[in-house]
Structure formats: C-alpha cells, structure tokens
Structure 1
Amino acid sequence: MAVDESLLESAVADQVCSLRWYRWDQATISLGYFQKNNNEAQQSLWEDLPRVRRLSGGGAILHHHELTYSFTVPASHPLAKSPPDLYVAIHQPLIDILAAHDLPVTFRGVSFRADSEPFLCFGRGDERDLVYQGKKILGSAQRRRRGAIVQHGSLLLLTSEYAPEFPGLLNQLAQTSRYTDDFLNTLTADFSNAIAEAVQLPLKSRNLTDEETRRAEVLEKEKYSQDAWTSRKKQA
C-alpha cells in the first residue's frame, strides 16, 4: 500500500503512469479508505489475519489467492478526467486477455445496493465489476489526489478458506492446475501489454526510483504500519 501511494505521488509530481501487479504471501484484509474497522459483520475467523487500510475506497478485500493491481494516472492524462472511463479502460483489456485463455469474463452490467453494505467488497455489486459464470471475480476502486488517480483491483483466482462464499476464476478442477507461477506471470505480462495499448502509453518495465523507494519506506513506517491508520480513517 505504501508503494502504491508513492507511485500516486509520482503521478502527481512527475506526470508518470504506473501499472503494478502483485500477489500476497498470506491471507490479508485491506480496508477501504472510508471503511470502519469495527464493523459488526466481521467474522471471527478473520480475527488473526493481518490487515491494512488502502488509499482507495470501497469495501474490505480478503486478499489471498489472487492477482492485485494498482494503476496510477496523472491529471494530464485524458482518462483522469473521467474516473468511470478509467475502470472500463483497465477492465476491458482484462476481459480480452482472459477470453484468449478460454476464460469468458464479462462486465456485470448492472449495479445493486443493499440496505446495509456487506463488509467485503466481493459481496457488493457494481456495473463495472467483472463476473465469471455469474459470480464476481474482479472489482476495482479509486482515489483521486490533485487530479491524479490511483485505481486498485483484485482478480480472485481461487476461493479462500476465509471467504468460502466467493468462488475464484480457476476453481473448477480443469482450471485449478493452471494456478502456477508460469501461468500467472504470462497472464500479468499479457494484461500489461493490453492495458498499455488501451491507455495509449508505451510499456516500459522499470524498478522504483530511489525517491519512490524512500517515500514508500517513510509511508510504511509513519502511516501504513500504524494502528491509528488501520483502525480508523485519517486524512491523507
């Protein structure tokens, strides 16, 4: 989360677009920026899970067997002028690449709201969600800062034992065998190329700059590792 905020600062200060893919080495809950941490809907089986608060909004995500992305876009990019279009610009290439891997995913197409929003994001429904066989397998959320935007998204690959109600994209026996490092590396490379083409930007792999690394380290120490940040919303 600290790295993603550091990349957002680069989008603000240096007009840089960044796309980052990552995975999780243990089940972790990330809370939406505006979300309360003491929600009564939380389950006891999550009590010992690590948690962090995201900079982006939306409901909590139980990250486990998934691919997570962050995309930052500066205020100067046309997509920063229309946040809804940014969702589509990122999600449509994912649909196209998954279809090429015989995984027919579509937009949900309609939104739904409950009287009381579920604690977990995957229990909520937005028209721009991606669904597979009628079940949500990807949702995204955004945060704007001085015109620049960071967008987070989670592609659910396998069901977690901590959230058995949410089926993963590769749950079926014939697909589970594809949950390998080689397949996921291919998938993220294909995603990255397709997204770069969709947002009309050249794709160039890079490491964090020294300044981005320093900034992320400070954010991790002074913000994201602090109970005060995780427990309640504070101004960022």
Structure 2
Amino acid sequence: MNDTWGLLSSGFNDAAVNMAMDEALLNWHSEGQIPPVLRFYGWSKPTLSVGHFQRVERAIDMEGVRRHGCEFVRRQTGGSAVLHDDELTYSVVVSEKKDYIPTSIREAYFELSKGIMAGFRNLGINAEYSIPKERFRDRTAVCFERPSDYEMLVEGKKISGHAQTRKKGVLLQHGSIPLTMNKQLLFDLFQFPDEETRAAKREAFSAKAITIHEALGKNVTYEDAEEAFRKGFETGLGLTFVPIELSDEQWEEVHELADAKYRSDDWNLHFRKKVPANGKE
C-alpha cells in the first residue's frame, strides 16, 4: 500500500465507548479531520456484540447475558454474535477512494487480512486463509462456529473473525483475535431448545475454533499481541504508522455518541435507528 496511517491504542473501555469510538473515527475520517487509522483495543468487561442486522430475540439469551454480568451491544458491521473477553480487537478506518481499497468486500477483506496473517506469523502461528468454495445454507448465531472469506484458520479451526461496513465513503472493518476463550460462558449466552443441545454445541465448538493460547500452548499478553499485529500491518500492508491521541473534545464526542446510541435499547435490542445528540447519524 505504501501509505501513512494513524495508529490509535485506546486501551480497555466498555462496550458502548468501544463501538462509539469506531463510529466516531469513521465520521472524522469522512470529514477529513484524521488520516486512515488502525486502532487496537480491549474490553473492560466480557461483552456480547451482535451483528448490525441480527435479530436478538431469535438467538440471544438475554437472561444469560444479565446472569453472567456481560455487557451487550450492537455493532455497525454485520455478521453473527461475538463474545469479546480476553482478546485483542482491531479496527481499520480508511477511505474507499484509496486506490488500494477494492470495491468488492471480499477483495477488501483479502487485502486487509494480509496484516492479520503477518501478525499471526510474528507470534509463531502458521495460519492459513479460509476460502469457502460454497455458501452455507444454514446460518449460525455464533461467530466463531464458521469461518468467513479470508479469515484465518489454524489446523482447520477459526482463530479470528472480522466484519466490515462502508458508510460516507469510508470502509470500517473490525476484528476479534481471541487470546483465550471462555466456551462455557459463550454458550450460556445463546438460546437452545434444551440443555442437551447446548451441551452438544459447546462440545462440538472446540473442533471449529481455536485461540492464540491453544495454538501456541502458552499465554500471550495483550501487549505482546498488539505489538505483533502492529508490525504485521506494517509489513503485510506496507504501512507507516504515526501514533495519534484523541483530544478532550473528541473524547467528549465519543462519550456523547456512546450514551445516545450504544447504551440505547432502541439500537441494541430492536435496531430502531436513533439520531444521536451530536446529529452525526
């Protein structure tokens, strides 16, 4: 790509702030206030995020979410539900006008995935691309049960997930890279017809998904993972990064958007669009 992007390490925040920040970055980039940005972040509490168009009442056990003290949020991007817990999360915000951003979503996934692939290699993990040869007829509510195009596999098991949206001429992609995964918790957050089905699904999941800890047989810290994937984006995509920090005014805008939209049941549970107080929807 041979371009210069901003690098934002925003640390650990709650679900509403994390999603509001991704949306704010998209808005600011569309307005020319900031360059393209690679952001790394974590979650202050275990959080279940659902895809933009996912029907909560059909798949999610909200009583289980409350019982386990998890946060809950709806993403701007599509796809299935993701449990964010002990993981490194990344987001990319970049103009569609860049000549290295393909118009095809699948091709854009492939281009950006080169940074993720290089990051895994920096950790000593030999990942390979998932390239489904056919579309699955049955859908799953659980993100890591099935790989999408150009996600990463290790030993045939999914090790990362990503999702993308395009608004205001800007591509937003974010992805989940689990360091470890609480599979007991994960399957307590979804609806099943009975406990036998829940147990069977949980048991089968281990054959479909893998974490960094499982792939390496050792723990990797959040900080080490962030460094590995930062270098991965540098070498895999040919990028130069300039660290950026948010101003007090930008943080205020993020928190206003978090309160107006991403803490709202209208958005999170029912997907009824609600214009935030800052008017940027």
Which interval holds the TM-score relative to the shorter structure? Answer: 0.7 to 0.9
Q: Shift of the alpha carbon at 1:115? A: 3.4
Residues 1:175 and 2:213 aligned together:
no
Is 1:2 aligned to residue 20 of structure 2? Answer: yes
2:163 maps to 1:144:
no
- Cα distance in 2 for partners of 1:111, 1:10 equals 37
2:241 to 180, 203, 210: 203
Alignment correspondent of 1:63: 84
Partner residue in 2 for 1:25: 44
Residues 124-146 of structure 1 deviation map (CA, whole Å, 9 limit, x = unaligned): 33231111111111111111112
Give the TM-score normalised by structure 2.
0.74
With normalisation by structure 1, the TM-score equals 0.87
1:165-214 deviation per Cα after TM superposition (whole angstroms, max 9, x unaligned) = 24322126x623x233xxx3233123223314544442011111344323
Code of the aligned partner of 1:56: T
Gap runs ≥5 in structure 2:
1-18, 187-201, 274-280
Give the aligned partner of residue 12 of structure 1.
30
SS at match of 1:155: strand
Question: Runs ≥4 in structure 1, deviation > 3 angstroms?
Answer: 40-48, 111-116, 196-201
| Aligned CA-pair RMSD | 2.3
The secondary structure found in structure 2 opposite 1:170 is helix
Inter-partner Cα distance in structure 1 for 2:61 and 2:93: 30
Which of 100, 121, 126 is the aligned partner of 2:143? 121
- Cα distance between partner residues in 1 of 2:240 and 2:175: 21
Contact in 2 for aligned 1:113/1:125 (Cα 8 Å): no
**Mapped partners of 1:76, 1:140: distance in 2:** 21
Which of 94, 97, 101 is the aligned partner of 2:123? 101
Q: Are 1:110 and 2:132 an aligned pair? A: yes
Q: Structure 1 counterpart of 2:76, which letter?
A: L
Q: Distance in 2 between matches of 1:76 and 1:58?
A: 25
- Which AA in structure 2 matches 1:171? E
Q: Secondary structure at the match of 2:96?
A: coil
Cα deviation per residue 1:73-124 (whole Å; 9 max; x = unaligned)?
Answer: 0233224443333322322222223223321111112255443311111123
Q: Number of residue pairs matched?
A: 231
Q: By how many angstroms is 1:32 displaced?
A: 0.8
Bigger mean CA offset, 38-47 vs 69-78:
38-47
Greater CA drift, 119-128 or 109-118 = 109-118
Q: Distance in 1 between matches of 2:237 and 2:114?
A: 11
Distance 1:80 1:218, change over 3 A: farther
2:251 is the alignment partner of 1:233? no
Q: 1:162 — aligned with what?
A: 185
TM superposition shift of 1:24:
2.0
Give, as a single letter, the amino acid of the residue that structure 2 aligns with 1:169: I
* AA of the residue aligned to 1:209: S
Partner of 2:9: none
The question of whether the paired residues in 2 share the 8 Å contact of 1:73 and 1:148 is answered with yes
Extract unaligned runs of 5+ from structure 1.
Answer: none
CA distance in 1 between counterparts of 2:71 and 2:228 reads 31
Percent identical: 26
